[in-house]
Chains A and B, each alone.
Chain A
Amino acid sequence: MKNHTLLILVIMSLLSDVALATGNSMVIIANASVTINHLSLDEIKDIYLLHNRQWSDSSPIIVVNRPSNTQIRSRFEQQVLGIETKKYALHLEKMHYQGTTLPVIQESTQAVIAFVKNVPGAIAYIEGLPNNSQIKVLMELK
């Protein structure tokens, strides 16, 4: 009985992801305190590769990632960063050993949204537009 439920959930999550993948676009969101309104892909890449760690007003960029084995992250890595998962992970590790603060990990979309809402200078990616007016949308990938 349990195994069955688990199986169903897994399938449904996959399906949801697929549905989202097909239905929802990747959206880059940021905290309301961020002055910029739009970011290019390259700028986002810089940010997520931790090359650029400050906003234009010198406030720190708080980068938010999803856990490394999630579908949305893979999608982000593929669509936005254009880097292999392994390569990205390796890069992050390298940055970690250099003493750079790694991106914060949040597990669910709602957690990401709540985080970005509360933390000044936060940037994250979600699938689908947030319903929150307190969050800026910096980019939307179709």
Chain B
Amino acid sequence: MKTNFTSIFHRLLWSYSAIFLLLLSAVFTLLFFKLSTQQVHSNIAQLHQATLSDRTQLESELFHTLTNVKAWATLNSMDDLLSDDIDQRITERLEQVKQQYQLKGHLYALSSKGTLVTADYPIEKTLDLSVWFTQMQTSNSPFIDKYSSPIDGSTIIAFWQPITASFNNQQIIGYLIITYPWQAVTSFLAGNTILRHLMLFNQAGIAVHQDEHLPLINNIAVVNAMQKESWYCNFLSRYLGVEEDLHYEVTIDQKIFFVEILEKNPDTPLTNAWQWVSLIEKQQIYAPIKDIVIDILQLAGVIVCLAFFIIYIISQRLSKPIQTLTEIAADIANTLDLSKRMPNYGHDEIGKLAASFNEMCNTLEKMWQEKKQINTDLQTLNEQLEQKVAERTQHLAWQANHDMLTGLPNRALLEERLTLAIARSHRTPSMLAVLFIDLDGFKAVNDNYGHDMGDYLLVDIAKRLLTCVREHETVARLGGDEFVILLELQKVEELDAPLERLCALVNEPIVTDGKILKVSPSIGITIYPLDPSDGDGLIRHADQAMYQAKQKGRNQSQFFKT
């Protein structure tokens, strides 16, 4: 395959490639943007959901605890608060409950005056629990936020419930408190700190919980004061249909985080005690995007290679027929070989062009053949014509020198022959006899039988005369009924025999068509060199002699006498 590409091929190749690349890059860019934003959004949404679910879980745990304390506050044995639990029924019950429910914290039963009556484990009854008592008197929430336990100083949260007498539910006979170690909350929230960090702030804005991985932020005011930047370009979000996000970008310790301050959720009243702040490291979110980019680029690379290949093939297929056409046309122009044809290219425009070209070649070839044929014919004709002309010329030449009727040489030829014969007679010791013959009675034949008969007679006589002469001798017709014979002889006496024969022959009647024609010769003879005249003279002399013979009575010969 010749690698001589037409410019059409190049144009097709590059224009197709350009269009394709444009489309591809547009599509892929759009795709990438959409995908990446989708990905980031979905990741953040996922983590948000995780946070919410964690919160819900914590809420349910705490709610459980609250429900329990409410339930246990109504135990019948609680009446024993009035008897200071002398029988230790409350103690037993509390211990049992602690065992049964695997409580993380402790249960404490207080009297209506705030003194410790009993707990679920042996304890000093004289402990100062005024911190609890004050809280319970002043607050209308059964939840006590994070604080140090007055009993052992550990960090706890607590739930409390007033206990009423079974016989009088207006009378508060004491309080039941259940403590929940803060450690449990912290360890629960520390579940997924790889991607998402949590910070809890209490009502006063002080941080109550924080991931270890984060730098210390004590007050929510610090968070609020941080410079927030909306993390997505509004322009793009408008055109790509991405929602306006609710997250802010914040830089802490040179790391960029997405910060979300969760709203107070009416479904989780207990955990609403804290402000939930979730931080997500930007780098972590965008890390999988890099993988996506690499995947997309690889895919794009493969597609581009494939597309180039296809475009190359298509362009070639389109430009090759044109090239072939050019080559074949050039070929034909150079070699004049009209038998070449274009291959079949189907039914499209190129195919039709090829077919038309082929038809043209067919027609041209036919015409060419015809032309050749005509040429050949012409040549043949020409040759024939030449031949004819030659013949004609020959004939004309003959005609110029011969008598048409009898075929005998005419006067002109006779004079030539005569000259030659004279010359020959000069060279060789021979003599030349010139016989001038006139047919007696010829006119009568013409008049009686017509000119046709006369002609016939002349022809016959001519034939007879020819039998009297040898090859190199001449019989000529001068016209009318006059003949001249040239004879070559050595002696005069040699004339006798032919003369006789001649007379006999001419005298012989001609029979034709039921008619008998008779003529007789009058012959005048002169012999060169006895008569030393030239050709004309000789004929003249012979003619004179003939006239003399005629005068003497015809049917005889007469020699010329000077």
Find chain A residues with CB under 8 A from B83 CB: 106, 111-115, 118
Question: Would you list which residues of chain A between 88 and 142 have a CB under 8 Å from chain B?
Answer: 101, 104-108, 110-115, 118-119
| Beta-carbon contact of B168 and A60 below 8 Å | yes
Complex Cα distance, B85 from A114, in Å, reads 9
Question: What per-residue 1/0 map shows which CB atoms of B161-204 lie under 8 Å from chain A?
Answer: 00001111000000000000000000000000000000000000
Q: Is A62 part of the contact surface with B, judged by Cβ < 8 Å?
A: yes
Q: A106 is contacted by which of B87, B165, B167, B168 (Cβ under 8 Å)? A: B87
Per a CB cutoff under 8 Å, which of B79, B84, B166, B167 touches A60?
A: B167
- A106–B83 alpha-carbon span in the complex (Å): 9
Q: How far is the CB of A97 from chain B (nearest CB, A)?
A: 16
| Contact between chains at A107 and B87 (CB < 8 Å) | yes
With an 8 A cutoff between CB atoms, is B86 at the interface?
Answer: yes
Q: Return chain A residues, CB-CB under 8 Å to B168.
A: 60, 62, 101
Question: Which of the listed residues A62, A112, A113 has the most CB atoms from chain B within 10 Å of its own CB?
Answer: A62
A60, A111, A119: the one within 8 Å of B87 (CB): A111
Q: Is the CB of B86 within 8 A of A101?
A: no
Rounded to whole Å, the gap between the CB of A26 and the closest CB of chain B is 20
A119 and B166 contacting across the interface, CB-CB below 8 Å: no
Bound CA span A105–B84, Å: 15
- Cβ contacts A76-95/B at 8 Å (1 or 0 each): 00000000000000000000
Residues of A near B79 (CB, < 8 A) are: 104, 106, 115
Q: Tell me the B459-508 residues at the A interface (CB within 8 Å).
A: none
Bound together, the chains give a CA A62 to CA B83 distance in angstroms of 13
Please report the C-alpha to C-alpha distance between residue A60 and residue B27 in the assembled complex, in whole angstroms: 85
A1 smallest CB distance to B (angstroms): 25
CB-CB under 8 A from A118, the residues of chain B are 82-84
Q: Does B80 lie at the interface of the complex (its beta carbon under 8 Å from any beta carbon of A)? A: yes
By beta carbon, the residue of chain B nearest A108 is B87
Residues of B within 8 A of A111 (CB): 80, 83, 86-87, 89
User: Distance (Å) between the CB of A11 and the closest chain B CB?
Assistant: 22
Q: Would you call B167 and A104 a contact (CB within 8 A)?
A: yes
Min C-beta distance of A118 to chain B, whole Å: 5
A55 to chain B, nearest CB (A): 13
Chain B positions within 8 Å of A114 at CB level: 82-84, 86
Residues of B contacting A101 with CB < 8 Å? 166-168
Flag if B86 contacts A104 (CB, 8 Å): no
In the complex, what residues of B have CB within 8 A of residue A107's CB?
A: 87, 89
B118 nearest CB across to chain A (Å): 13
Could you give, for residues 33-63 of chain A, a 1 whenever the CB lies within 8 Å of some chain B CB and a 0 otherwise?
Answer: 0000000000000000000000000001010
* Minimum CB–CB distance for B170 against chain A, Å: 10
Residues A62 and B167 in contact, CB atoms below 8 Å apart: yes
Chain B min CB distance to A47 (Å): 13
Q: CB-CB < 8 A to B82: which residues of A?
A: 114-115, 118-119
CA distance A101 to B169 in the complex (A): 11
Set of chain B residues within 8 Å of A113, measured between Cβ atoms? 83
Residues on A with beta carbons closer than 8 Å to the beta carbon of B165: 62, 119
Q: Which of A57-76 contact B (CB under 8 A)?
A: 60, 62
The minimal Cβ–Cβ distance linking A72 to chain B, given in whole angstroms, is 15
Q: What A residues does B86 contact at CB under 8 A? A: 108, 110-111, 114
Q: Indicate whether A104 sits within 8 Å of B166 (C-beta atoms), given known contacts A115-B82, A118-B82, A119-B82.
A: yes
Question: Chain B's nearest CB lies how many Å from the CB of A99?
Answer: 13
User: Which residues of B290-319 have CB atoms within 8 Å of chain A's CB atoms?
Assistant: none
A contact residues around B80 at 8 Å (CB): 106, 111, 115
| CB proximity of B501 to chain A, nearest CB, Å | 195
Docked pose: A114 CA to B87 CA in angstroms: 10
The 6 closest A-B pairs by CB, nearest first: A114-B83, A115-B83, A111-B87, A111-B86, A118-B82, A111-B83
Which A residues contact B (CB, under 8 angstroms)? 60, 62, 101, 104-108, 110-115, 118-119
Interface, chain B (partner A; CB < 8 A): 76, 79-80, 82-84, 86-87, 89, 165-168
A-B pairs with beta carbons under 8 Å apart, 30 shown: A60-B167, A60-B168, A62-B167, A62-B168, A101-B166, A101-B168, A104-B79, A104-B166, A104-B167, A105-B76, A106-B80, A106-B83, A107-B89, A108-B86, A108-B87, A110-B86, A110-B87, A111-B83, A111-B86, A111-B87, A111-B89, A112-B83, A113-B83, A114-B82, A114-B83, A115-B80, A115-B82, A118-B82, A118-B84, A119-B165
